[in-house]
Amino acid sequence: MNPQSILRRALGAFIVLLAACGTAGAATTASSPGALVFTQGTYSVNQGTATVTVVVDRIKGSKGAISVAYTTVNGAALQGTEYTKKTGTLSWAAGGTASKSIKVKLSSATPFSGTKGFFVELYHATGGAALGSPYTTKVMITGAKSTTGSPGSVAFSSATYSVPENGGSAAISLQRTGGSSGAVSVRYATSNGTATAGTNYTAASGTVSWANGDVATKTFSVAVSDAAPFTGSKTFSVSLSGPTASAALVAPKSATVTITGSQAPAGTVALSSASYTVPQSSGSAVVSVARTDGSSGPASVNYATANGSAVAGTDYTAASGTLNWASGDTSAKAFSVPVSSAKPFTGMKSFGVNLSGAVDSTLGNPAAGTVAIAGSGSQSTSCAQNSNSYATSNDWGYAVYGNYVVNNNNWGGTPGQKFWANSADCWGVTTTSTVDGGSPGSYPNVTRGWSSNGGVMEQLSDAGSSDWTTKSGMGISVTALTQATAHWAFSAPTGTTRWMGLMDIYFHKTNSPDYTQFPPYTDLMVDQALQDQVFDGTTFYSATALQDHATTVTLGGVKFVIYVDDSSEDSFHNGGHTIHLFELPTAFSSNNANPVWGSMDSRIDVKAIIDYLRQSNPVDDAGKPLLNASGKAITSPLITDDLYLNAVNAGWEILTGTPFTNTSFCLAMQNEPACP
């Protein structure tokens, strides 16, 4: 009943009470305006009747003119469907006591079975008249639709039920509606979901029956067990089938029963850190695993190492095993991986550590990490130009060595530049220029895979074909990549000269792009500056990075400053992102006017970089969302699964006259042996 109706009834009752108090013990006289009441509290009609007439009397007085308002109010019968809404006012003149009638139209346009009712109410009496009892009458309509001969329909009373694990049993109810002719029955049966019969509940099946004329709700029970306590919730299903006597099955025909576990959480196991770093001379790397967010019951997890640029049997000893926790134990567990210094190397090498097979606990994040080994060896200086070296002063000179091409790429025509190479692992450049105008004038580099010089790439293709990408061992889908580890070393100049070391990673949406598809026409470029002068905010790249929400990430054991261009920035690309990764310098002075650089030897896990950038919602070393240059959080992968890795190259942009010597570059792909 609506709130207005309730209020009117309450006011009516109050008026009746006042009238009773004022006239208690007195006979009805012409000196009282009287009270207004329905002659009946209930009227009954059949649905086929055109109208129903209800009668209102004036009793206990006839003094003065009075009136009363009336309205119809929905019950199970609805206005517009079973009847037509009626409102109005009834009036009596002074001395008048004749009965007044209210006629309400009924409808049989929508036949129904059983009975439905609506109300007619009196309210707002005037002239001092009171509302007597009853001032509300109910009209009951007997439906025109017969259920005689219909067996009705059967369904679950609800599509969902729940029970605690220690609740003993779940009560499941069925209902019969729309008819009751004859005896009917229906079969039920349970089936597993995440809850398992025999462990979490007892499988049940059977038959539920109704006698002729019976429409009562029927209930059956399914036993649940807490013999194997669990956390969270588990579910099983119950379904109906095989109704008899032409009874119909209607929705819901199946129901889900949720069992709420009674056990405290067992917790989550994960690596304490995603990255570890140890010196080659340390003898071993200790990797820690933490158990958090619960400690109920025993728990265990398996661990194993995996090769990266560091190789088992040479740089470390492969390790695998199981870590165990007792119930209530939340202490960190650790395993040790022996590290070898039998073959000293320079720079960094890394291997992976992975967790798997968590038992009675949840495998958390990070479940995989890297251990970086800082080499104890010194860089060889045996590489030097000699009479057998390839040499050129041509602006675009190159030499091919297996899968690699070394390029002069003196696009700005830096005066006096000479390029030489003994192999892909031994090359350098000299120049007689002292300044080239303050902007990069050349990019001598070594490339594996795609290059900006089409003439070079023809050297790596079979005659009459353009298979240079796959011929160089590149053109690999990022989803199929298993290894891509680079080793780059060189002897850098010291003093006041300016230069920048670059390693660029190129991607396309095809593994055979045309040679003209070079920057700025790649689909994606990771512009990875390994050594960018002094990273103090005063040089172009470092100032841009700090302005564009740069942060730090550790990938494959190497810490980088990272920032991501907005798509509107066309400096280094056209239609895609450029991602900048700056390896933090390891040898420089704090005096920006006189930076001091020495030898550089770096090992970069390119696959780790790609895997990081394939994530949705990547975070930095502090666990904060990675932002683009506009400060907006990156929520979708920067490297998408439709891209191919088509090239990696390394070189330097020379800002002033700069000699470089003893440069080497190697890229180990897929199942290739690790770089020296």
pLDDT, tens digit (0-9, with 9 covering 90-100), for 430-464: 776 655 444 567 778 888 886 655 566 666 777 66
Q: How far is CA 318 from CA 284, 305, 375, in A?
A: 11, 6, 18
Does the pTM exceed 0.75? no
Q: Give the pLDDT confidence of 55-64 residue by residue, as tens digits.
A: 999 999 999 9
* Percent of the chain predicted with pLDDT > 70: 76
Q: Give the pLDDT confidence of 481-503 residue by residue, as tens digits.
A: 999 988 877 665 555 455 566 77
Q: Which residues contact 419 (CB under 8 A, 6 or more apart)?
A: 391, 392, 393, 397, 406, 408, 410, 427, 428, 429, 444
Above 50 in pLDDT, residue 586?
Answer: no
Which residue, among 180, 36, 144, has the nearest Cα to 99 in the 3D structure? 36
> Encoding tokens for residue 65?
């003119």
For the ranges 217-226, 265-274, 528-537, the maximum mean pLDDT occurs at 217-226
Q: What is the largest CA-CA distance in the chain?
A: 139
Query: Rounded to whole angstroms, how far apart are CA atoms 148 and 610?
Result: 73
* Percent of the chain predicted with pLDDT > 90: 33
With cut-offs at 50, 70 and 90, classify the pLDDT of residue 554. Answer: confident
**The pLDDT of residue 552:** 81
For the ranges 10-19, 128-137, 145-154, the maximum mean pLDDT occurs at 128-137
* Mean pLDDT on 409-427: 79
Q: Give the pLDDT confidence of 524-540 residue by residue, as tens digits.
A: 555 443 333 334 444 54
How many other CB atoms are found less than 10 A from the CB of residue 173? 14
Query: Which letter does DSSP use for residue 510 in this model?
Result: S
Query: Rounded to whole angstroms, how far apart are CA atoms 122 and 119?
Result: 10
With cut-offs at 50, 70 and 90, classify the pLDDT of residue 243. Answer: very high
**The pLDDT of residue 434:** 52
Above 50 in pLDDT, residue 376?
Answer: yes
Above 80 in pLDDT, residue 675?
Answer: no
> Encoding tokens for residue 388?
């057998």
Mean pLDDT, all residues of the chain: 79
Report the chain's C-alpha Rg in angstroms.
Answer: 43
Q: Give the pLDDT confidence of 44-83 residue by residue, as tens digits.
A: 998 888 999 999 999 999 999 999 999 999 999 999 999 9
**The pLDDT of residue 601:** 67
**The pLDDT of residue 426:** 82
Query: Which of the pair, 32 or 396, is modelled with greater confidence?
Result: 32
**The pLDDT of residue 571:** 44
> Encoding tokens for residue 372?
């970086």
Q: How far is CA 591 from CA 376, 500, 532, 536, 539, in A?
A: 28, 17, 15, 10, 13
Above 80 in pLDDT, residue 22?
Answer: no
* Mean pLDDT on 180-194: 92
For the ranges 140-149, 366-375, 443-452, 614-623, the maximum mean pLDDT occurs at 614-623
**The pLDDT of residue 236:** 95
Q: Judging by DSSP bridges, how do beta strands 368-374 and 275-279 pair with one another? A: parallel
Q: Give the pLDDT confidence of 593-643 residue by residue, as tens digits.
A: 433 344 566 778 899 999 998 999 999 888 899 998 888 899 998 888 988
Which residue, among 563, 600, 601, 555, has the nearest Cα to 579 in the 3D structure? 563
With cut-offs at 50, 70 and 90, classify the pLDDT of residue 11. Answer: very low
Above 90 in pLDDT, residue 188?
Answer: yes
Above 50 in pLDDT, residue 184?
Answer: yes
Contact 653, 502 (CB under 8 A): yes
**The pLDDT of residue 511:** 83
> Encoding tokens for residue 352?
């992976």
Contact 213, 223 (CB under 8 A): no
**The pLDDT of residue 208:** 94
Above 70 in pLDDT, residue 28?
Answer: no
Query: Rounded to whole angstroms, how far apart are CA atoms 459 and 396?
Result: 14
With cut-offs at 50, 70 and 90, classify the pLDDT of residue 655. Answer: low
**The pLDDT of residue 6:** 46
* Mean pLDDT on 2-17: 45
Contact 178, 155 (CB under 8 A): no
Tallying the residues shown for the chain, one arrives at 676
Above 50 in pLDDT, residue 89?
Answer: yes
How many contiguous H segments (helices) and E segments (strands) does the chain have? Answer: 5, 43
Above 90 in pLDDT, residue 122?
Answer: yes
What single letter denotes the amino acid at residue 645? L
Which residue, among 491, 488, 571, has the nearest Cα to 530 in the 3D structure? 488
* Mean pLDDT on 395-403: 83
